[in-house]
Amino acid sequence: MIETKGLTGAQTLLRVLGGMGVERIFASPGSEWSPLWEALAEPQGESLPLYVSTRHEEVAVGMASGYAKSTGKLPAVTIHTTVGSLHATMALRGALHEQVPMVVFTGESIGFGEDDGPDVGGQWIGHLADIGGPARLVERCVKWSFGVNTKAILPATIQRACQLAMAAPRGPVFVSVPMEYLFDKMTKNPPSENGSAPAPTADPEGIEELAGMLATAKNPVIISEDAGRSVAIVERIVELAELLGAPVVESRSTGYMNFPRNHPLHGGHDPQDYVREADVVFLLGALAPWHPASKGPGPEAKVAVLDENPLRAELPYWGFKVDLCLAGEIQSSLEKLLEVLRKRVSKGEPERARRAESWKSRFEERKRRWTEEALAVKTKKPIDTRWVTHELNQVLPADAMVVEETITHRLAVHRYLDRLKPGSFFAGSIGGLGTGLATALGVKAASPKRPVVCLIGDGSFNYDPALAALGVCQEHKLPILIVLFNNLGYLSQMSGVPRYFPDGWAVRTKNFVGISITPSPDYATIARAFEGYGEKVEEPGEVRPAIERGLKAVAAGQVALIDIRLQPVT
């Protein structure tokens, strides 16, 4: 039993989080958290979460996201009331859609200084309170949101929040805790020792049906975007693909490394190239594998879906054809599926072997073409994205971990970084920009001895709380390598205009509005302001040496920023 009776609310928060396995609190709090700071200053007689100050709410949530993605563990976040909660909502929405667990706490006041006890301050009436409190403000951006309304339930609510965050489908949960309760003494203990809720395995009958579909398919295709949350899951996907002789295709928007990119059954990043030929399509942790949703496999093809949240109840529209829908935790469900398939399918059967050989030929041809494209631009000025990612792939250490927030350069990142190992690639944005640097810092916090590289566009960099993130690097000794893909503008915003208005005024006059990020500052100088290493690269022959110098600086304990100047958008 976790003992909290007689402790303050702040002490209780730490005690229950520690009891629920939380090892990190990523924080950008306001003054309402002074009781927590006092509790953290007290001599600790037991293992409590490590408190990491992050200087900005988006950095706090982004770090929690990177930490959770790379470890599978539950992090906690403490942020400022109302205004801080609103700052965090973009990152919280991203965590919701990516199914990333975290438990987020904010303070509030319910007494406004009228109760006996410590005075919370006059700012609450005039500036920090809204009707319904912060829990109501953010409820559409999280899985579950609640404002604690009596101190008697605070210990149980903290515990329940941890359980809900880790229960399928995983996601961020939000709890607002009145400052008055943080000072108060608790009257109850939480109800259970731990009470974690493991995600369920998919229905056994559904797994049998799926095994039958895959075993009898003439041309099965596996599509995955976010299944590869652990190395163990990727290993199961590899075994499944090799058993079936089936390709595994990712998409441009893949958030993890779902399949080794140097494996001959890797099918690239355009599922539509494969679904037209398939008679069975297995969507494994895939959110939106093709667009529009109605433009998928032919009418005769069967589509099976497996995910913790297969029908995506949080989305207003999904629209994908589904013949078999299985809800369940991916790793355990895949293990059961493989058990059944091994009884029905023998690895290396002639037909499947021929199929696998055909996919291998397609894989090798695609890799050859991509390599030729990169080498063809190795002397091009301004520098070409394909050359940058090709060179980066040559020098990344074997244990490197990569976070990507480049958007328009994303496809090149997927194509050329084929030496990365499973469990070492993570998307740094989902729908909105501003969390790439923080996600990389969360990954670094989880694996401080491994080199972490953040690939980020100059547009994304301007959305990120960059100064706060660089401050975290410096303060907490979390050096990362930042590779800035700098095209001096917003290519994604420019590309839409000629697509929609090919004969319009913007195209004819080359007057594209609102796409410029100029004059471009000397971004490398910013890193040096935080005792880091910075370098601007304009010559294609200097790309590899500059990245090597950046990696050397990171190994020596410095944050490094390599500003690579690409073809300007303008």
CA 336/CA 343 separation, integer angstroms = 12
Record the pTM: 0.95
Q: Does 371 fall in a domain?
A: no
State whether 395 and 334 are in the same domain: no
Q: What is the DSSP letter of 566?
A: B
Counted domains in the chain = 3
Structure tokens at 415: 């194509």
State whether 157 and 219 are in the same domain: no
Picking from 149, 183, 217, the residue at the C-terminal end of a domain is 183
CA 139/CA 235 separation, integer angstroms = 36
Q: Does 519 fall in a domain?
A: yes
As a whole number, mean pLDDT of residues 24-51 equals: 90
Q: What digits encode the pLDDT tens for the residues 536-546?
A: 999 999 999 99
Q: State the CB neighbour count (10 A cutoff) for residue 556.
A: 10
Q: Does 189 fall in a domain?
A: no
195 band by pLDDT with thresholds 50, 70 and 90:
low
CATH number at 358 reads: 3.40.50.1220
State whether 178 and 210 are in the same domain: no
State whether 385 and 338 are in the same domain: no
Picking from 330, 365, 400, the residue at the C-terminal end of a domain is 365
State whether 360 and 474 are in the same domain: no
As a whole number, mean pLDDT of residues 401-422 equals: 96
Mean pLDDT of the chain: 94
Q: Does 2 fall in a domain?
A: no
Picking from 315, 337, 365, the residue at the C-terminal end of a domain is 365
Q: What digits encode the pLDDT tens for the residues 289-307?
A: 999 998 889 889 999 999 9
CA 211/CA 198 separation, integer angstroms = 24
The residue type at 101: P
Q: Does 16 fall in a domain?
A: yes
User: Which run of H or E residues covers position 142?
Assistant: none
Residues in the chain: 570
Residue given tokens 């496999």 in the structure block: 297
CA 489/CA 476 separation, integer angstroms = 32
Q: Which residues pair with 297 in a beta bridge?
A: none
State whether 141 and 30 are in the same domain: yes
State whether 400 and 521 are in the same domain: yes
Structure tokens at 194: 């731990």
User: 3-state SS string over 319-386?
Assistant: CCCCCEEEECCHHHHHHHHHHHHHHHCCCCCHHHHHHHHHHHHHHHHHHHHHHHHHHHCCCCCCECHH
Q: Which of 277, 178, 261, 269 is nearest to 219 (CA)?
A: 277
State whether 244 and 278 are in the same domain: yes
What local confidence, expressed as pLDDT, does residue 260 receive? 97
Residue 45 has pLDDT above 80, yes or no: no
State whether 455 and 381 are in the same domain: yes
State whether 554 and 462 are in the same domain: yes
Return the exposure string of 509-532: e unless at least 16 CB atoms fall within 10 Å of the residue's CB, then b. Answer: eeebeebbbeebeebbebbeebeb
CATH number at 518 reads: 3.40.50.970
State whether 107 and 29 are in the same domain: yes
**Beta-carbon contacts of residue 201 (< 8 Å; ≥ 6 apart):** 328, 329, 332, 333, 336
CA 374/CA 540 separation, integer angstroms = 12
| Burial classification of residue 372, based on how many CB atoms lie within 10 Å of its CB (0-12 exposed, 13-18 middle, 19 or more buried) | exposed
Q: Does 370 fall in a domain?
A: no
What local confidence, expressed as pLDDT, does residue 121 receive? 84
Q: What digits encode the pLDDT tens for the residues 259-269?
A: 999 999 999 99
The answer to whether the peptide bond before residue 479 is cis (omega within 30 degrees of 0) is no
Q: Does 198 fall in a domain?
A: no
Residue 156 structural domain: 9-183
Q: Does 440 fall in a domain?
A: yes
What local confidence, expressed as pLDDT, does residue 564 receive? 98
382 band by pLDDT with thresholds 50, 70 and 90:
very high
State whether 398 and 278 are in the same domain: no
